Amino acid sequence: MRKFFAGAGALTAFFSTAAAYADQPHPWQWRFQEAATPIMAQIEWFEKYTLWFIVPITLLVLALLAYCIVKFRASANPVPSRTSHNTMIEVIWTVGPVVVLLAIAVPSFQLLTAQYNPPEEPTLTIKATGNQWNWDYEYQIEAPLSFNSAMLQEGDRAATGKEDVARYPRLLAVDNEVVVPVNTITRVLVTASDVIHAFAMPAFGVKVDAVPGRINETWFKAEKEGLYYGQCSELCGKDHAFMPIAIRVVSEEQYNSWLTAAKTDLPGANKALMAAIEGDESVAVAGN
């Protein structure tokens, strides 16, 4: 029993620690990651909204099946009914589904429209190109910045300063994260160089196919600073499971400092940004 409580405490500590670093998948997770963008918040609302239809309909169908099984079983109903028409039943099972579908369709179309139409012109545009099995990113700014992002190898943790497994999980951490400023509308142009991939960031409500020879467009506005993880979500070969995506959301000042340094020294810029963020967190913890 003592070992059980110790294990439960360790798991709780893991969750609380991971939560401090924005969001990422957790063991035995069955709900969405915490929303970090307005679109993901709408997706969460829509999921809860549809449950008000799904659950009653499922229970109703289950009750009707049980009723029919008991009421019209052969022993209790040796002479089956020959009723072929019932106007009231026809009206109910025609009008009812139409009303339910309309109630679901209207907000779903509104959500779909919002996903493809940012409220204002994006401030930052990043091109993401999927490769087997890593990502190329290009910041489409006046002096473009390009780099490759691949899964962090366990032997490289010390060299990159990413030894904290809670912050940089195995199979999700990358060598070079995408860095974006908080509360900024970011356009992502998604394509692929070889086979079909998919750019997915659950906390942002983003999932778009990366198709060779075609550019798909999506956007997000991250409202919470932190490090977020996603993965390629289209089967793309033997290392499909080892193609993570990491986006670090920082303040405007931190982003500008990182961008200036990254143009000449990307590893150094990443380490400086990590030191600034972890230093801020240490000060905040000490202040509490």
| List of residues 6+ apart from 128 with CB closer than 8 A | 135, 136, 137, 178, 188, 189, 190, 191, 199, 210
The CATH code of the domain that includes 236 is 2.60.40.420
The total domain count for the chain is 2
In a domain, 11, yes or no: no
Q: Which residues contact 33 (CB under 8 A, 6 or more apart)?
A: 23, 24, 25, 202, 203
pLDDT of 140 > 90? The answer is yes
Range of the domain at 95: 38-73+87-116
Q: Do residues 14 and 166 touch, judged by C-beta distance below 8 A?
A: yes
pLDDT at 98: 95
Condensed to tens digits (0 to 9), the pLDDT of residues 18-54 reads: 444 567 888 888 889 889 999 999 999 999 999 999 9
269 vs 248: CA distance, rounded Å:
13
Element (DSSP H or E) covering residue 287: helix 266-287
Same domain, 97 and 157: no
* pLDDT tens, position by position, 51-99: 999 999 999 999 999 998 998 888 888 888 777 888 888 898 899 999 9
Contact call for residues 196 and 265 (beta carbons, < 8 A): no
pLDDT score, position 280: 58
In a domain, 99, yes or no: yes
Half-sphere exposure (Cβ direction) of 251: Cα atoms closer than 13 Å: 8
Mean pLDDT, the chain, rounded, equals: 87
Give the residue from 129, 149, 125, 150 showing the smallest Cα distance to 139.
125
Residues 276 and 157 in one domain: yes
The β-bridge relationship of strands 134-139 and 124-131 is antiparallel
Q: Which two tokens stand for residue 144?
A: 């473009």
Residue 15 has pLDDT above 80, yes or no: no
Give the C-alpha separation, 138 to 147, whole Å: 7
185 and 201 both lie in a single domain: yes
DSSP letter assigned to residue 30: -
- What value does the mean pLDDT take over residues 132-145? 93
